[in-house]
Structure 1
Amino acid sequence: MLTILGNWVHRYFSDEEAVLLAILLVSSLLIVLTMGAVLAPMIASCIIAFLMQGLVQHLKALKIPHVVAVSIAFLVLVGFLVLAFLVILPGLWYQLKNLFAEFPRMMGEWQQLLLVLPERYPSLISEAQVKDLHDLMRHELGELGQGIVTFSIANVPVLMAVLVYLVLVPILVFFFLKDSQTILTWCASFLPRKRPVMSKIWAEMNLQIANYVRGKVIEIIIVAVASYITFALMGVNYALLLALAVGLSVVIPYIGAAVVTIPVAMIGFFQWGWGNELFWLMFAYGVIQALDGNILVPLLFSEAVNLHPVAIILSVLVFGGLWGFWGVFFAIPLATFTKAIFNAWPLADEAAQLSSQEP
């Protein structure tokens, strides 16, 4: 047993860069797990700066000086935050409040619809089961409403921290964009001069992950805006809430679109019942999803992420369970990063060859 373990360690950790890379990965994971809440502004700023680096590079390609390009990107970020907190969030809160106020009527209609099932299919479902299901749904909705009220009252310090982050994060993003090369050079000074494995991983990250994350943000915005315009023109209630849900659904491949279909169909049903309006709503929703999958995604993601669907779903489950929404959002980039590490990891018989390739 010790011989097998020794051979495995020699095969995967015979190269000093492999050992250093393993230490860096474990240390980074421990820091995020133990100090993630404290470092949240710094991590968020790094991610946002990473997303906006593409805009800075495009501006610099137009012969715009670096400081001016960074300032323009910073103003774009501040403008988006102002738009979100002065226009989008108040609208979302108003629609969410109206939705909770309308829940009793919806529950009544839902109960009437369920009560028809025992009459038509008495062998499959009984009135007692329908009543239990209705009571369960009413209880869960009551718990949800109570949780929202409790959150709004008991988490005032958290809301104050959010306000602090709104000031701190943009400032950090500005300096990360402005001094990105200096920061990267400083970090690289602590690493070995010959680092073929890290260079290979960084190249794949910069090529695939950066394009994916930026493209995903653009996809969310385009799908959400298109959905809002469509729902608003059709007169759908809670158009902003549904548009936000449809936009965020693109974060989870293969699952998000199917899950969001339920609230879209339910809102349409409770508003119009079984009618032509509901049919046209679902048709428009299907067209949006089809255009997203067949036109928008190929345009945005020219560098396709070569991952098997099973690997994508597994990464969503694992990273989502660890870090919630952000774990889901970055599941595919993290899976790609993991794959890049496995592909570039030096084995005992490849270490010498990799080292000889580094100038």
Structure 2
Amino acid sequence: MYRILRGLAYKYFSDEEAVILFLILVTGTVFIIWFGAMLAPVIGSLIVAFILQGLVTRLNTIGVPEGIAILSVFLVFLGVLVGFMFGLLPLIWTQLSTLAGEAPRIIGELQSYLELLPEEYPHIISAQAVSSLYQQVNTEVGHMTQWLVSFSLSSIPDLVALLIYIVLVPILVFFFLKDRELLLGAISRLLPPQRPMMLKIWHEVNLQCANYVRGKALEILIVGGSTYIAFKLLGVPYAALLSLLVGLSVVIPYIGAAVVTIPVAVIALFAFGWGTHFIWVMVIYGIIQALDGNVLVPVLFSEVNNLHPVVIIVSVLFFGGIWGLWGVFFAIPLATMLKAVFSAWPVKDSFPSTAPDQM
């Protein structure tokens, strides 16, 4: 056993830089797990600054001074944040509350649809299964309505924390953009002066993750915005709420689009019935999804290394289970980082000849 452990240590950890990188990864993971909730504004600000840095770099390449570029990008970020907080968010909350109020009517119509299924397909669906499904749906809707009613009282501490985040995040984003080189220089002084493996991994992760995160944020805006415009023109109720769900669905590859199709189809069915209008809504929605998968994604992520679908799904499940929504959003960048680490990790070809043969 001792020989095996010593051989593995020689093969994978004989390089000093590899040992330091391993300790950094383990320490960073434990730190995020234990203190991630406490430092959520800092982590969120880092992510936002990471996304906005791409715009700053683009402006610098066309001749805009760095100070003006940072200030311009930061003002755009503030405008988007204010527009979301005072424009889109109240609209979504109003539509969600209205949907909860109309839930009994929707449930009643759903029951009428479900009751016809055992008559038309008696060998596939039984009346008992339909009754059980109806009770489960009714229970879930009741829980959602109760949550909406009690939200204003039970979530006051969360609202206070949210207000603190709204103040802290823009300040942190500004200083992360303004003092980016200073902060990176301070971190680099803590690392070994000779670090070729770390630099290789950093350049790979920076390229791949930057393209993915910025591209995914742009994809959410494009898909959500185009869905809102299409649903608004078609007269689909709760257009803002549905477009938000459709936009966020692109975060989870292969799964998000399939899951969000259900509420879109249900609301369109109850709004227009089974007819031409409903078919047009679903056709337009299908076109948006097809254009996203076949046109938008290849354009936005042309420089990102493709991961196997099994790796993507496992990454989404694993990191989502650890860090929730943030883990789902960053599942692919984290998988890309691990891939870069494994590719650059120094591995010796053989065990040391001086390793003892037995314990």
Q: 2:108 matched to which residue of 1? A: 108
Partners of 1:208 and 1:305 within 8 A in 2: yes
Q: Which moved more, 1:300-309 or 1:234-243?
A: 300-309
Q: 1:340 matched to which residue of 2? A: 340
Does 1:93 pair with 2:93? yes
Q: Which amino acid aligns with 1:70?
A: I
Q: 1:268 matched to which residue of 2? A: 268
Q: Which amino acid aligns with 2:261?
A: T
Q: 1:175 matched to which residue of 2? A: 175
Distance 2:322 2:150 in 1: 25
Q: Which amino acid aligns with 1:290?
A: A
Q: Which amino acid aligns with 2:227?
A: S
Distance 2:121 2:64 in 1: 70
Does 1:68 pair with 2:68? yes
Q: 1:80 matched to which residue of 2? A: 80
Deviation at 1:349, TM superposition (A): 4.4
Q: 2:253 matched to which residue of 1? A: 253
Distance 1:183 1:215 in 2: 25
Distance 1:262 1:7 in 2: 54
Give the TM-score normalised by structure 2: 0.95
After superposition, the C-alpha distances for 1:217-268 in whole angstroms (9 at most, x for unaligned) are 0010011110000000000011111111111111111111111111111111
Summarize the alignment of residues 204-215 of structure 1 with structure 2, pairs less than 5 Å apart: 204-215=204-215
Summarize the alignment of residues 212-227 of structure 1 with structure 2, pairs less than 5 Å apart: 212-227=212-227
Q: 1:355 matched to which residue of 2? A: none
Deviation at 1:62, TM superposition (A): 2.3
Q: Which moved more, 1:270-279 or 1:113-122?
A: 113-122
Deviation at 1:319, TM superposition (A): 0.6
Q: 2:242 matched to which residue of 1? A: 242
Partners of 1:249 and 1:256 within 8 A in 2: yes
Q: 2:185 matched to which residue of 1? A: 185
After superposition, the C-alpha distances for 1:312-331 in whole angstroms (9 at most, x for unaligned) are 00000001111111111111
Q: 2:314 matched to which residue of 1? A: 314
Deviation at 1:145, TM superposition (A): 2.2
- Aligned positions, number: 350
Q: CA RMSD in A?
A: 1.3
Does 1:154 pair with 2:154? yes
After superposition, the C-alpha distances for 1:276-319 in whole angstroms (9 at most, x for unaligned) are 01111111011101111121112211203221010000000001
Partners of 2:97 and 2:148 within 8 A in 1: no
Distance 1:153 1:260 in 2: 29
Q: Which amino acid aligns with 2:53?
A: Q
Q: Which moved more, 1:292-301 or 1:320-329?
A: 292-301
Distance 1:329 1:152 in 2: 28
Does 1:12 pair with 2:9? no
Q: Which amino acid aligns with 1:261?
A: T
Does 1:121 pair with 2:114? no
Distance 2:314 2:126 in 1: 38
Distance 1:129 1:264 in 2: 24
Q: Which amino acid aligns with 1:50?
A: F
Q: Give structure 1 regions of 4+ aligned residues with deviation exceeding 4 angstroms.
A: none
> What is the aligned-residue identity percentage?
55
* SS of aligned partner of 2:102: helix
Partners of 2:197 and 2:345 within 8 A in 1: yes
Deviation at 1:162, TM superposition (A): 0.8
* SS of aligned partner of 2:191: coil
Distance 1:101 1:148 in 2: 10
Partners of 1:15 and 1:348 within 8 A in 2: no
Q: 2:285 matched to which residue of 1? A: 285
Q: Which moved more, 1:200-209 or 1:118-127?
A: 118-127
Partners of 1:41 and 1:168 within 8 A in 2: yes
Partners of 1:205 and 1:337 within 8 A in 2: yes
Q: Which moved more, 1:148-157 or 1:172-181?
A: 148-157
Q: Which amino acid aligns with 2:329?
A: F
Q: 2:28 matched to which residue of 1? A: 28
Partners of 1:95 and 1:241 within 8 A in 2: yes
Does 1:50 pair with 2:50? yes
Structure 1 unaligned residues grouped into runs of 5+: 351-359
Deviation at 1:90, TM superposition (A): 0.9
* SS of aligned partner of 1:169: helix
Q: Which amino acid aligns with 1:223?
A: V
Q: Which amino acid aligns with 1:198?
A: M
Distance 1:123 1:348 in 2: 63
Q: 2:203 matched to which residue of 1? A: 203
Task: With a CA cutoff of 8 Å and minimum separation of 6, indicate the structure with the bigger relative contact order.
Answer: 2
Partners of 2:114 and 2:130 within 8 A in 1: yes
